[in-house]
Structure 1
Amino acid sequence: MCGIVGYIGEKEALPILMDKLRMLTYRGYDSAGIAVSENGHFYVEKCKGKVEELEARLDLEKAHGHVGIGHTRWATHGPPSTRNAHPHLDCSGRIAVVQNGIVENFWELKQELIAKGHEFRSDTDTEVIAHLIEEYYDGNITTAVALAMQRMVGSMAVLVVHKDEEDRIVAAKMDSPPLIIGLGRGENHIASDIPALLHYTNKIYVLEDGEIATVTKDDVIITRYRESTTPQRLYDRRVIVVDWSPEVAQKGGYEHFMLKEMHEQPQTVTDTLLGRVPEDSRLPIEIPELNITPDDVRRVERLTFVACGTAYHAGVIAKYAFEQILRIPVNVDVGSEFRYRQPILGKNEWVIAISQSGETADTIASMREGKEQGARVLAITNVVGSSVARLADGVLYTRAGPEVAVASTKAFIGQIVGVYLLLLYMAQYRHLSPSAQQVVRELRQGLWRSARDIERVLETADKTRAIAERIAEKPVAFFIGRNMDEPLAREGALKLKEISYIHAQGYPAGELKHGTLALLESGVPVVALATQSSVYDKMVSNMQEVLARDAWCIGIVPEGDERVTQLLGEENVLTIPRSNDYLHVLPAAVQVQLIAYYAARALGRDIDQPRNLAKSVTVE
């Protein structure tokens, strides 16, 4: 969603703000703006369009100051336009505000403020914040922001500067949007995501729900605006040290971040396993941050995975694996639907949230529902200190590093490995059949090899590219699969439509007869995943159904497959290294990612920042 940045220190603020905004462009946005303050004067510039367009408009002779805030907007209230871009000012022009999130009661507040004489210049909910702070301002900007936050309802992260108090930025957070304070020497930084801070510091505070921070160049004072408007340091605030390098968030010579991140997937597998899964199979798997005991594992009766988008597909893969191997009943819920279906949770049930960013609003709401019902709540996430990680009773970090492209790739691979890690840990303390024990042994040994399997798919992508470029010529595509290939079919369709804008749908292959066959005609591409041995014969039958309608069937199969190759023709078959069914999902996921990437590339799409999409969805 929106990106917000701030700087206060001894250096010129503008270059630092612009650098941070460029680091946040991956989140998806439609306009940008900055406000810099010096000697009681604001320099404000904003525009519809990209950060580069904002940069071209800057008047470097006027844009001086050692304190400032900036913003990239993803439109919610009011269309993308210069007048709706942030920062927004109050009537006096002395207060500037940027916000990530939504003020749900903005209409009521706006009518109240208009009745008091305030004049509005935009269609946004954010401008209400500036006028509300103006209404409460009495010489102390922190107090005014605290009082304004108490009046608002919604989910938001806010930065505020005042012309008369240039020695501070006030930051406040309500509910889910992230707000990170980076700690420096003689300067402090603020951003809505960690990558924007990595060039300046790796020591951060993460602002919690209901907190307000007064940030000066030498200090950060945090209090709770819901309890007090008097700044009072919270001495239990923990400094988090981030171990990502700034270089990880750069393209490194690749044409797109998405391509770079796909090539980082073997390292994601290895990093997520290191220190947790000893290569000596006689040694136990240990994941202390999960905060679960062997007795907890023995007592659990049901698991519920909650997630959105790509992470949801990782949850469905988890359902197949946990039920087949551990024989534990598993539900998988879309985060935006979970709490509205009024779920019934038991005391021996775990709710497991999966989220790349750790800030997905619907997933966070699902976790809170689980806690309210007394379930143990765990998280699988990529971001240390994120809202999901802090809310959970235990967490498993996927160690994928910062993911910049909007379409998730390496985070998805990390989530699958994380799911398998949780399964392997639990398998140590559950009673398993001899056949299940053998599967667990194969999975544990094979996970290390899967990094090389992914590398082989990436190294032999020429054939995938050729097929993808043909798919790019079509207006529609279908992906089908069974068993653990079914969520991969959905993921492949999601990736293709996300970045190429081709209408794509993923289906359980057995559902072809129940309507989808009506859409198949000559030349329509159908990607059929057949990596699961237990349903291989069924998938071959489904491919024959596709061919009978004169559609174009592309198979994804393990190496050495002869039956599908003979049926479809070698030119229409993509292979993955042969392993076992559970491990096949990792290289197969990479094949569908490559199809999406090369189709979008052939069409000249904005692959890293597809239209209308945001990296981190922090509001419902």
Structure 2
Amino acid sequence: MGGIFGLISSTRPVAPIIRAGLERLVHRGIDGTGIVTLDNNEFIVRKDAVRVDQLMDKSSIDDMPGYIGLGHVRSATHGRPVYENTHPFIDCTGNLALVMDGVISNYYELRKELEDTHSFSSRTDAELIVHLIENELNAGKDMIGALQSLQSISGYYTISLINRTEKKIYALSMGNPLIIAINDTEKFISSEEQALPMDQLQLYSLSTGQIAVLGMDELQFVNASNLSKVELKPHKAIITNTELNKGSFRHFMLKEIYDIPESLARAVNALQEEYLNDAWLLISKAHNIMLLGSGTSYHSALIGKYYLSTLARLHSESVPAGEFLYEEINDVEPGTLIIAISQSGESADIIRSIRAAKRRGAVILGIVNRLGSTLMRESNVYLPIGAGPEIAVPATKSFTASLAVLLQMAAMSREELDWARSELKKASEIISTQLNDNVDKIKNIAKDVAGFSDMYVISGGPIGLPLAMEAALKFKEAAQIHSESMSFREFKHGPMTLISGKFPVLAIMPGGEVDEDMGPVLSEVWHRGGYVITISQSNKVRGTSDHLILVKQNVNKLLIPIIYSPVIQLIAYRLGVARDIDVDNPRNLAKVVTA
């Protein structure tokens, strides 16, 4: 997996621009960085198994000559994060330089076929592809014909490469999309819009099964199946430079947490009634509803299931997207509605799942933050999350905004929609107050817990348990603390044995009967030596909590995950900072999982 950025310029050397683009793609991979430029008919390569800001001092990158180039940030899948496995890769003839995002499923079989006739320098699947293209060129095919032959490869990937003799950039999407952007003097290629310079660019989205050819005086798009020309419709950039800056915040994660109140307002404003009417029509016609998501989006799906049950009185299933094809796909038939949730709209598990479901007659309702994404384009109807760009790898504002969209989606009547939007407005105000009122308390919690490598998160009920799962994920991602979530009722069936010596436990009390039943468990944890952090609307547990984060307002239980999660995210952030973790780009993780 990784991120791709490159360009052809008629006016300036490209290496400084590629470096800047890769810096805006660092959330896609920190296991390696590479840049290749073409100058005087020779490839110049700088690469290493480091982050882009560590590759070498900026001047040595910026001094690379060449008006055509590609760059790559890597998140290791095939092959360890070492120099040899860092992109780009050059073919045996020295004519092709290639970078890739994605994964090749039948890598080992294909490599065995090529090892006797090609020299491999790495253990990556990307290098395999450059040699496959080399073979096709040696057999007499042109570049487009060689790329067409790659469709037989099993995998989910996108490649971009420079042909030295032609002085062109080629790209092929076989799952992961690419953005092509042009102005009067330059042509760009990027994994994400946000990596592009925001100056009067025309953008094109390269979809699965399409080839792009970028020359100094050439831009064409080709269908990889039949080699026919494709006319892609240009569009303007959606993202602004202001949205991509940290401003006065130390980290993007902190900025994005404090952006939650505003992002909730955007989640309401972006969800126009025509979108909702289309979604409600799909929901009302469905006889089988499944919500899919990965990671944080799966936790949104679990809560969305409860929203549908409570507000729309509809039964549905929530399934991790990565598990869907093993079992639940067998229940998909015409009349099935798949509600697919994804911040990026590019998660490989989500895309594979919706495509398989569509082949069996399902319709797709996408809930997505990134407009123009694959999920948006392949959905029958989509609902925009409207959170704006989210740069930090740990999801924050996209989680609360997706819940806001799911809440409105489940309302399904004018009266309930008005109620939901009124409650979301109140939630924005409560969240702002909670974040400001608990700054010092959360810093103290982080100071006390930072030395621990494990913790528990407990809650209960259809709202509390998914929120506990999301909290545990945030502590893993942002603080690199092994955190286990569970129902408080399961706590005495084994986990209680670890409680001693101020072992940290976060207790999420969602209200009602769950709170009444949780009280005695918290008391036992505290008396047995646990360090108890409680988030609650009630003062009753103050005596058995080391820290109580009190939500003073009377909050409807459906809004609990939206109102509680920013404080939980801030605890995870402060823990990460106290533990000297790169909270924006945690090790071994990428913002977009494309394999």
SS at match of 1:122: coil
- Residue range with higher mean Cα deviation, 402-411 or 463-472: 463-472
Trace 1:180-259 onto structure 2 (pairs within 5 A): 180-201=179-200, 203-228=202-227, 232-235=228-231, 237-259=232-254
For 1:322, the equivalent position in structure 2 comes to: 308
- Residue range with higher mean Cα deviation, 143-152 or 505-514: 143-152
The whole-number CA distance in structure 2 between the counterparts of 1:264 and 1:373 is: 40
Q: Which amino acid aligns with 1:411?
A: S
For 2:68, the equivalent position in structure 1 comes to: 67
Q: Which amino acid aligns with 2:185?
A: G
Give per-residue Cα distances to partners, 1:588-620, cap 9 Å, x unaligned: 00111011111111111111111111110011x
Q: Is the 8 A contact 2:19 2:61 kept in 1?
A: no
Equivalent residue for 2:317, pick from 331, 342, 348: 331
Q: Which amino acid aligns with 1:351?
A: I
The whole-number CA distance in structure 2 between the counterparts of 1:572 and 1:557 is: 7
**Cα offset, 1:562, TM superposition:** 2.5
> Is 1:596 the counterpart of 2:572 in the alignment?
yes
> Is 1:617 the counterpart of 2:588 in the alignment?
no
Q: Which amino acid aligns with 1:500?
A: A
SS at match of 1:527: strand
The whole-number CA distance in structure 1 between the counterparts of 2:486 and 2:95 is: 55
**Cα offset, 1:63, TM superposition:** 2.0
**Cα offset, 1:3, TM superposition:** 0.8
Trace 1:174-573 onto structure 2 (pairs within 5 A): 174-175=174-175, 177-201=176-200, 203-228=202-227, 232-235=228-231, 237-274=232-269, 276=271, 286-288=273-275, 291-292=278-279, 294=281, 296-343=282-329, 344-424=331-411, 426-428=412-414, 442-460=419-437, 461-483=439-461, 484-558=463-537, 561-568=538-545, 571-573=547-549
**Cα offset, 1:577, TM superposition:** 4.2
Q: Is the 8 A contact 1:443 1:583 kept in 2?
A: no
> Residues 545, 349 of structure 1: CA spacing in aligned structure 2 closer, same or farther, 3 A cutoff?
farther
**Cα offset, 1:325, TM superposition:** 2.2
Q: Is the 8 A contact 1:6 1:191 kept in 2?
A: yes
SS at match of 2:81: coil
The whole-number CA distance in structure 1 between the counterparts of 2:552 and 2:188 is: 45
The whole-number CA distance in structure 2 between the counterparts of 1:80 and 1:576 is: 48
The whole-number CA distance in structure 2 between the counterparts of 1:149 and 1:181 is: 21
**Cα offset, 1:576, TM superposition:** 5.9
The whole-number CA distance in structure 2 between the counterparts of 1:406 and 1:55 is: 24
**Cα offset, 1:239, TM superposition:** 2.0
SS at match of 2:507: strand
- Residue range with higher mean Cα deviation, 209-218 or 574-583: 574-583
> Residues 59, 326 of structure 1: CA spacing in aligned structure 2 closer, same or farther, 3 A cutoff?
closer
Q: Which amino acid aligns with 1:4?
A: I
For 1:96, the equivalent position in structure 2 comes to: 97
**Cα offset, 1:150, TM superposition:** 3.1
> Is 1:25 the counterpart of 2:26 in the alignment?
yes
For 1:43, the equivalent position in structure 2 comes to: 44
The whole-number CA distance in structure 1 between the counterparts of 2:111 and 2:283 is: 52
> Residues 482, 61 of structure 1: CA spacing in aligned structure 2 closer, same or farther, 3 A cutoff?
closer
**Cα offset, 1:318, TM superposition:** 0.9
**Cα offset, 1:54, TM superposition:** 2.1
Q: Which amino acid aligns with 2:153?
A: M
**Cα offset, 1:151, TM superposition:** 4.1
- Residue range with higher mean Cα deviation, 337-346 or 589-598: 337-346
Q: Is the 8 A contact 1:287 1:396 kept in 2?
A: no
SS at match of 2:20: helix
> Residues 37, 476 of structure 1: CA spacing in aligned structure 2 closer, same or farther, 3 A cutoff?
same
Q: Is the 8 A contact 1:457 1:576 kept in 2?
A: no
Q: Is the 8 A contact 2:171 2:211 kept in 1?
A: yes
Q: Is the 8 A contact 1:578 1:584 kept in 2?
A: no
- Residue range with higher mean Cα deviation, 512-521 or 591-600: 512-521
- Residue range with higher mean Cα deviation, 383-392 or 98-107: 98-107
SS at match of 1:513: coil
For 1:281, the equivalent position in structure 2 comes to: none
Q: Is the 8 A contact 2:539 2:550 kept in 1?
A: no
The whole-number CA distance in structure 2 between the counterparts of 1:114 and 1:369 is: 34
% same residue: 32
Q: Is the 8 A contact 1:185 1:218 kept in 2?
A: no
Q: Is the 8 A contact 2:16 2:62 kept in 1?
A: no
The whole-number CA distance in structure 2 between the counterparts of 1:233 and 1:366 is: 29
- Residue range with higher mean Cα deviation, 217-226 or 308-317: 217-226
SS at match of 2:56: helix
Q: TM-score, normalized by length of structure 2?
A: 0.94
The whole-number CA distance in structure 2 between the counterparts of 1:164 and 1:310 is: 46
> Residues 290, 151 of structure 1: CA spacing in aligned structure 2 closer, same or farther, 3 A cutoff?
farther
**Cα offset, 1:52, TM superposition:** 2.4
The whole-number CA distance in structure 2 between the counterparts of 1:208 and 1:487 is: 34
Task: Show structure 1 runs of 5+ residues with no match.
Answer: 277-284, 429-436
Q: Is the 8 A contact 2:501 2:530 kept in 1?
A: yes
Q: Calculate the aligned-residue CA RMSD, in Å.
A: 2.2
The whole-number CA distance in structure 2 between the counterparts of 1:317 and 1:584 is: 11
Q: Number of residue pairs matched?
A: 590
Task: Show structure 2 runs of 5+ residues with no match.
Answer: none
Q: Which amino acid aligns with 1:88?
A: F
> Residues 150, 555 of structure 1: CA spacing in aligned structure 2 closer, same or farther, 3 A cutoff?
closer
The whole-number CA distance in structure 1 between the counterparts of 2:64 and 2:195 is: 21
> Residues 480, 565 of structure 1: CA spacing in aligned structure 2 closer, same or farther, 3 A cutoff?
same
Q: TM-score, normalized by length of structure 1?
A: 0.90
SS at match of 1:143: helix
SS at match of 1:383: coil
